[in-house]
Amino acid sequence: MIRMTLTEMARAVAGELRLAGAHTPDTVVSGTVDTDSRNIGPGDVFVAKPGEVTDGHLFVPAAADAGAALALVEHPVDADITQIVVPDVVAAIAALAREVVARVRAGGRLRIVGITGSNGKTTTKNLLARILQDEGETVAPRASYNNEVGAPLTMLRVTEDTRYLVSEFGAAGPGQIARLAGLVTPDVGVVLMVGLAHAGGFGGVEATLKAKTELVEAVRPGGVAVLNADDPRVVTMGAVAAARDVSVRWFGRGAAAEIRAEDVEVSGSGTTCTIVRGDERMPLRLRVLGEHHIMNALAAITAADALGVPLADAIARLETVEIAERWRMQPLGSDRIRIINDAYNASPDSMAAALRTLAQITEPGQRKVAVLGAMSELGEYAGEEHDRVGLLAVRLRIERIVVVGTDARRLFISAIGEGSWDGEAVFFETADEAYDYLMGELRDGDRVLVKSSNSAGLRHLGDRLGESFS
């Protein structure tokens, strides 16, 4: 975080300053801001966030013992540490993030990119950050820090030397992207796609479209919207951008895209294609598994292009990326038995893309094995979408379909109904049961996809399998 006095911080969050030790109102703080006391070190700021399981206020003394300079609290705590008392610590870190980013931006160097979409946000964020980090100091979210807590905490990592801030904006309901993006008014807003991920929280895909459009509406006048030319719903955002004096850069695989991919070929070592911009044609070898990640790469390249990064440099930097993120199409195991752990998140679109990738990278003589768990937050669409995944797995001729967890049982039933009844599809209540089955079932040449939403917990099953066959 930038250097701020205690008085300035209290004013930014409209809080009551309670001094401790040798602190005065003019004491300067510049440490990291975090909600986890285990991450706190000397000079840092601890945010005592109440949670569903525990209350951050219980850990203020531990933060003080770790050397924290300040605690942001909702009520005074009996601990030897300076505190700023506010009604709502989540609202307070948002207000502090707004102030910090505004101060740095006033220096004229900081450029801000916001990214949203039903799928691909974290991968695109990581790819873009890799491109930009060679241009100057770049701040981007750790993991999927994209909600009302994670996004402001990322913004608060900005310093006076930061040149680029890449923010990822997720949402479980209307208005959340508007609030988060409104803290920073991005120079560039990237919208990847509009699908059914989290549709249960929005009330349908049209409401999801409206929510994702909030990012385009938050881009500063004179800024750039980077939009998916292949998604008809995203295309409608072009008119929204034009009405706000925001220019549009289109990416995709179709002819309408300004930056597009042609000659796409998929293998077990990654995806190759030709990147086309006008008369320029440049090869890209993306080592991140999955044809669907070409769209994420295109989005990152187009955003970087809007920021003035040469196309050849962007492509060269992308080619150094081996995995997008842990638990996202992460290759594990060995050439003998390859495990692809993609169980951090799942939606109908990403589930279909992962299954198609499994089919594409499996060579003759090798078996396709899909270990599948539930897709969460689909609301009324959950049943039919799990049905679709079961049907697709059978139609892609997946030789073994291993379904795990009660919430995914309908996927198993759908696979059987489609014609997978001779042992191809099996069901287990727990990941431990599935692990025991797979340890006896897998054989040389198998290519195994592990895919589910985070809540299903199959990412840990993927890790166990990867270690067992490494």
Q: Find out whether 364 and 442 touch, Cβ atoms under 8 Å.
A: no
Please tell me what DSSP assigns to residue 366.
P
With vertex at residue 139, the alpha carbon angle to CA 42 and CA 143, rounded to the nearest 5 degrees, is 85
Find out whether 406 is annotated in a ligand binding site.
no
**Amino acid residing at 453:** S
Residue among 415, 407, 461 nearest 439 (CA): 461
Alpha helices in 330-430 (DSSP H): 348-361, 382-395, 409-418
Residues in the chain: 470
The answer to whether the annotation marks 189 as part of a ligand binding site is no
Interior/surface letters 97-112, b for 16+ CB within 10 angstroms, e for the rest? bbbbbebbbeeeebbb
What three-state secondary structure class fits 174? Answer: coil
H-type alpha helices, 60-218: 60-65, 89-105, 121-133, 150-155, 176-182, 199-202, 205-218
- Pairwise CA distance, residues 377 & 87, whole Å: 30
Category of 386 on φ-ψ map: left (φ > 0), alpha (ψ -120 to 50) or beta: alpha
Instruction: Spell out the residues 6+ positions from residue 227 whose beta carbon is closer than 8 angstroms to its own.
Output: 190, 191, 216, 234, 235, 237, 238, 241, 248, 249, 250, 251
CA Rg value for the chain: 24
How many Å apart are CA 268 and CA 228, to the nearest integer?
A: 26
3-class secondary structure, 343: coil
Largest CA distance in the chain: 74
**CA 201 to mean position of chain CA atoms:** 18
Give the integer Cα–Cα distance in Å for 399 and 397.
6
Q: Is 125 annotated as a binding residue?
A: no
Helix (H, G, I), strand (E, B) or coil at 333: strand
118 is known to lie in a ligand binding site: yes
Determine if residue 122 is labeled as part of a ligand binding site. yes
Q: Are 343 and 456 in contact (CB under 8 A)?
A: yes
Q: How many CB atoms lie within 10 A of CB 3?
A: 11
Task: Give me the amino acid identity at 416.
Answer: I
Query: Is 117 a known ligand-binding residue?
Result: yes
- Binding positions are 117-123
Query: Residue positions in the annotated binding site for ATP?
Result: 117-123
